[in-house]
Structure formats: structure tokens, C-alpha cells
Amino acid sequence: MAMTQPRTAYVATFLGTFGLLLVGCVFHLVQCQQQQPNIVFILADDYGFHDIGYHGSEIKTPNMDRLAARGVKLENYYVQPICTPTRSQLMSGRYQIHTGLQHLIIRPEMPSCLPLDDITLAQKMKEAGYATHMIGKWHLGFYKKACWPTRRGFDTYFGYLTGSEEYFTHLREKALDFREQEEPARNYSGLYSTQLFTQKAQGILEQHSNQSSDKPLFLYLPFQAVHEPLEVPPHYTQPYAHIKDKNRRQYAGMVACLDEAVGNITRTMDQLGLWKNTVLIFSTDNGGQVYSGGNNWPLRGWKGSLWEGGVHGVGFVSSPLLPAKVQGTITKELIHVSDWYPTLVAGLAGGSLNGSKLDGFNVWDTISNGYPSPRHELLHNIDPLTIVKPANATKVMGSKVFNETIRAAIRSGDWKLITGDPGNGSWIPPPGSGIQAHIPADPPGKMVWLFNITADPNEHQDLSSQRPDIVERLMQRLQCYYEGSLPVFYPGSDPRADPKYHNNTWSNWE
Ligand SMILES: *[C@@H]1O[C@H](CO)[C@@H](O)[C@H](O)[C@H]1NC(C)=O
Ligand SMILES: *[C@@H]1O[C@H](CO)[C@@H](O)[C@H](O)[C@H]1NC(C)=O
Ligand SMILES: *[C@@H]1O[C@H](CO)[C@@H](O)[C@H](O)[C@H]1NC(C)=O
């Protein structure tokens, strides 16, 4: 652009009105040959709905607030209730019923990973011409090397393969889980992961801007923060000395550090001249864990449940490339974590979705132009391994269509149907707020709930007995998805996973 402006001005002076038309065409052409934007995807871990400044949190997040205030806040945005499921959907664009990962998480001893015939988001970005980098938590399986991020589309990788570990030692159950590319990274002990990942990200950005290569950048940054263990350098908690609840205070410090990390990374991008052509996406992976300092008030339930507190996530998109008309807006259009795959590949990178079987939708026009979301329905999950035992079940609706003892939930337009045991369903206010926790009055053994989420986003009014017609329609949808599901893959622990066989590291054993 810097080159074309003086030249077009020169042409314009010479050719007068006719020339102005010509300039218009040249300019139009320049705009049409749109550059592929850099994409930075920041995924926070167990970050609660109530824990970002702009949702009225007592925890201050000035950097994220500022980015979100200039971008688009996603206020009808959904993730999965726990780690592996959200990450699997982000990386595959597929519901868990289509990857066999419906049940819980991939535990470190489990011979399981995101199925190798699913083409990952990173592979697709690479195919579209991007340099692909990942820093942080994988949690999509590692029992064989073919499952590792370095073999699934990322040019570089720095981080850990399991789901949680200590922030300073990078140990899990006393064994190292930290890698630079595929090699154990033993020399980072004592460095706090949020700061360390930020430095590594800044290194990648610097390297990228120094390279003569004109590849765009895809940087996937799944931070360890703010998952337990609640560890943080003490100075981050100082502004929160007034919070009496120790977990909440520690957690607040961890969030403060995460916010600083986001600020540092975006500042570095700005300084390097990368920001002007960057789209930043920020998302949580699931609802906050109330036992570990997180909070989702006023939503019902928390991490691990199919209530809104488990799945209604914090998310925003920020970019100078967004049209002015959407900068500083919120969207209430339905968007889900599985939508990022087609949105990034087709909507932003201009890549092809050939070979990918997707449950996600390209929502870039929804975010960048305010168009209605192409998504009208969202299968939260069907987990046939989590069932209400017959002794505890009371037939509430008596649907003959779908087995309501199964943990499942589906959203269709305004409506959400939940079946089976959805998990923790209390309303938990932030500690110290003075508000009382509210325990639901559902009879034990209740297995079917229906909510109008648009009218009742906090799930106070169960309408299942008032609207049996909608219950039945959504039961049919669940049954339809159920019939198209892959069998659940949830193997037992493999003793060969024990780090003692791998030089005291978590590593592949096949
Ligand atoms: C750790 O070792 C790697 C590989 O030798 C090196 O690149 C890195 O700078 C070292 N980091 C620290 C903190 O010493
Ligand atoms: C952000 O940058 C400042 C200044 O360089 C540094 O002191 C701080 O540790 C950084 N924070 C993180 C989370 O990287
Ligand atoms: C998609 O098409 C491109 C171009 O023909 C090809 O190079 C690539 O391998 C295809 N990808 C998949 C996953 O089929």
C-alpha cells in the first residue's frame, strides 16, 4: 500500500477525471487481492464467565477489556464443558459424537488421541500457506508420536502434552511434561508458564517479522492459565489482598498475569508492525471451576456440566481489519468452538476445506459484517457412558424417542433441552459478593429440562412440562444425532504410560 499511494496520486494528477476512475480500479484491485491475515488464537483454561472485566468481574482485565472494546464480543458463544472436548472440536471442527471423544477427557495413561484421520485446523492452515506455531497445552493425546502437535500440522511446538501440571516446575505427578518441539525441555524449571509462554510467543513473533518469507502466521496459544493448581508469582495477587477467599485471591492473580500476557503479546505485534494485519481470537475452553477460584455468575452450574456455566464461554475477536461498523459491538448470534475451523480456514485464510468433514460453520460474516449466524442448532454433547442409574431415575417426560437417562443437551434457536444428569447445577456467586448461593429445587432423579435460553439465560425456568411439543422435537434431534454417533472410545489405562519407563517424562509408549 505504501508503494501504490504515491503512484496512484501521480497517475491521478496526469489523467484528470478519467484517471480518477482508473485510480478507483487500481485501488479496488489492491483491495481485492486481500492479504491473508495473521491469526492469533488465545485459549484460556478454565476461565470463568464472570472473570473478565467487561462481565462485571471484581478481577481487573484492562488489556482484554480494551481489545474486546475495539473488537466484537461474542455473547452467545459456546464451548464444551471440559478440556479435551473443546480442544478436539477446535482442532477437528467436529462434534465429539464424530470423534468418539464423547466421554470426559483423555487421561495421560490412556492410549487415545484425536483420531488420526481427522485433518486438523493446523494442517489446514499450513495447507493454506501459513507458518503454524503452537505454545501451551495440547491435551489431545500423545500415546504415539503421530498424535503429537508437531505431527498434526504445527511447524513448531513448545508446551505440555497432558491436561494439567505445576506452573513453575512443569511436572505432573513428579514427572516432566514439557517439550520444545519433541524433545523434553528440562531447563525451564522455576519459570512461570504464563510468562514463559508469553516470552516464547514474542520470540516467534520477532522471528516471523525478521524472516523474509511472506507467509502469514497462525499462532495457537492455549495458555495453562487459569487452571488449577493455583500458582502465581505473589506480586500479581497484591491488588487482591482484600479478597478473603484464598482460592479466589490466587485465581485473581493468575487472571491478572494472563491479562498482562495478552497485553504484552499484542503490544509486541504492534511494535513489530504485525498487528495491523492480525485477527486475534480469545476464548475460554470451558466454564470456570468454582472449587479452584473460577466463577460463572450469574450462569447456572460450572465446569464439567451441561448447564450454561459449563458451556457458555467468554470469547471475543479483536482486529484492526474488522470493519468500523462492527468494532466495539457485541454479537448475540449463536457461535460455537467448532465454528473456528471453517471460519479460520475458509473465512480468513482463503483456504480450502477439502477433505474435512465438519460440524462447524464459517461465521466470519457474522462476526465481521453482523450477518445472521448460519448456525441454528448446537449439539452440546451426547455421552452414553454417563447415565442416570435406573434406581435414581423418575420418568418425567416418558419420551419414547431418546433414552433420557443419557447425559445430553441440544440447543435449537432459543431452546435448550437437557437430559440425564447434567452435572453441578447450582448458582454460585463470586466469593465475598454477599450474594447467597442458590441450590436448585429439582426433585432427585429428574432427567429432562427445557429452557428458553434467550429469555432465561440463567436457566431458572424449566419449561419441559409446559412445552412437551418442543421437548419431543428436540428429543428427535438428539436421537438423530445419537444414531449417527461413533461408538465412544474410552480405553483403560496402559501401564506402559508410566513415566518411569520414559526417563521420568510423560511420553509416547507406542
Ligand atoms: C533451554 O534449552 C534450550 C535448548 O538448548 C534453549 O534454546 C533455551 O534457550 C534454554 N532455556 C533456558 C531458559 O535456559
Ligand atoms: C509483560 O512485560 C513486562 C515488561 O517487559 C514484564 O515485566 C512482564 O513480566 C510481562 N508479563 C508477562 C505475563 O509476560
Ligand atoms: C486439498 O486440495 C489441495 C489442492 O488440490 C491438495 O494439495 C490437498 O492435499 C488437499 N487436502 C486434503 C486434505 O485433501
Tell me how far apart the alpha carbons of residues 203 and 180 are, in angstroms, rounded to a whole number.
13
Instruction: Identify the pLDDT of residue 27.
Output: 35
How many CB atoms within 10 Å of residue 391?
6
Q: Give 372's contacts (C-beta < 8 A, 6+ positions apart).
A: 333, 366
CB of 458 shorter than 6 A to ligand 2 = no
Distance of CA 354 from the midpoint of ligand 3 (Å): 6
For 11, the 3-state DSSP assignment is: helix
Adjacent-strand bridge partners of 42: 221, 282
Residue of 197, 231, 260, 269 with the most ligand 2 atoms within 8 Å of its CB, for mutation: 260
- The letter for the amino acid at 52 is I
For ligand 2, what atom is nearest to the CA of residue 194? 13
Regions of the chain where pLDDT drops below 50: 1-33, 397
> What does DSSP assign to residue 445?
T
> Could you tell me the three cell numbers for 346?
475458509
Selected catalytic residue, list 50, 55, 83, 147 = 83
CB of 184 shorter than 6 A to ligand 1 = no
> Could you tell me the three cell numbers for 231?
500458582
Distance of CA 187 from the midpoint of ligand 1 (Å): 6
> What does DSSP assign to residue 146?
G
CB of 196 shorter than 6 A to ligand 2 = no
Instruction: Identify the pLDDT of residue 399.
Output: 61
CA distance readout (Å), 93 to 120, 338, 360, 373: 8, 4, 5, 16
CB of 233 shorter than 6 A to ligand 2 = no
Distance of CA 234 from the midpoint of ligand 2 (Å): 14
Residue of 264, 267, 269, 271 with the most ligand 2 atoms within 8 Å of its CB, for mutation: 264
Q: What angle do CA 116, 117, 123 make, to 5 degrees?
A: 80
Is the CB of residue 27 less than 8 Å from the CB of residue 208?
A: no
CB of 187 shorter than 6 A to ligand 1 = yes
* pLDDT tens-digit map of 120-175: 999 999 999 999 999 999 999 999 999 999 999 999 999 999 999 999 999 999 99
Q: Which of 399, 374, 392, 388 has its CA nearest to residue 479?
A: 399
Instruction: Identify the pLDDT of residue 389.
Output: 85
- The letter for the amino acid at 83 is C
> Could you tell me the three cell numbers for 339?
465454528
For ligand 3, what atom is nearest to the CA of residue 119? 13
Strand 38-44 and strand 175-176: the pairing is unpaired
CB of 268 shorter than 6 A to ligand 2 = no
Selected catalytic residue, list 55, 98, 133, 139 = 139
Strand 217-222 and strand 131-137: the pairing is parallel
How many CB atoms within 10 Å of residue 238?
10
Confirm whether 147 is a catalytic residue: no
Query: Which residue reads 520444545 in cell numbers?
Result: 180
Strand 278-284 and strand 38-44: the pairing is parallel
Adjacent-strand bridge partners of 419: 408, 448
For ligand 1, what atom is nearest to the CA of residue 191? 13
* pLDDT tens-digit map of 332-387: 999 999 999 999 999 999 999 999 999 999 999 999 999 999 999 999 999 999 99
Is the CB of residue 361 less than 8 Å from the CB of residue 373?
A: yes
Strand 175-176 and strand 171-172: the pairing is antiparallel
Instruction: Identify the pLDDT of residue 392.
Output: 67
Residue of 118, 119, 126, 127 with the most ligand 3 atoms within 8 Å of its CB, for mutation: 127
Confirm whether 83 is a catalytic residue: yes
Tell me how far apart the alpha carbons of residues 477 and 474 are, in angstroms, rounded to a whole number.
5
Instruction: Identify the pLDDT of residue 17.
Output: 39
- Tell how far CA 352 is from the center of its chain: 22
Q: Is 424 left (phi over 0), alpha (psi -120 to 50) or beta?
A: beta
How many CB atoms within 10 Å of residue 475?
23
Domains of the chain: 37-376 (3.40.720.10), 378-483 (3.30.1120.10)
Distance of CA 425 from the midpoint of ligand 1 (Å): 45
Ligand nearest to the CA of 117: 3
For ligand 2, what atom is nearest to the CA of residue 263? 1
Is the CB of residue 154 less than 8 Å from the CB of residue 140?
A: no
Is the CB of residue 250 less than 8 Å from the CB of residue 313?
A: no
For 24, the 3-state DSSP assignment is: helix
**Beta strands across the sheet bearing 179-180:** 183-184, 179-180, 156-160, 131-137, 217-222, 38-44, 278-284, 315-318, 72-74, 329-331
Instruction: Identify the pLDDT of residue 16.
Output: 40
Tell me how far apart the alpha carbons of residues 288 and 460 are, in angstroms, rounded to a whole number.
20
Q: Give 24's contacts (C-beta < 8 A, 6+ positions apart).
A: none
Ligand nearest to the CA of 233: 2
Is the CB of residue 405 less than 8 Å from the CB of residue 387?
A: yes
Q: At what angle do helices 246-271 and 193-210 cross, to 10 degrees?
A: 10
- The letter for the amino acid at 322 is L
Strand 131-137 and strand 156-160: the pairing is parallel
> Could you tell me the three cell numbers for 163?
491436561
Is the CB of residue 309 less than 8 Å from the CB of residue 301?
A: yes
3-state secondary structure labels for all residues of 216-279: CEEEEEECCCCCCCCCCCHHHCHHHCCCCCHHHHHHHHHHHHHHHHHHHHHHHHHHCCCHHHEE
Instruction: Identify the pLDDT of residue 411.
Output: 98
> Could you tell me the three cell numbers for 36?
491473508
Ligand 3 atom 5 nearest Cα: 354
Q: Which of 152, 161, 145 has its CA nearest to residue 107?
A: 161
Instruction: Identify the pLDDT of residue 7.
Output: 35
CB of 188 shorter than 6 A to ligand 1 = yes
Residue of 180, 198, 202 with the most ligand 1 atoms within 8 Å of its CB, for mutation: 180
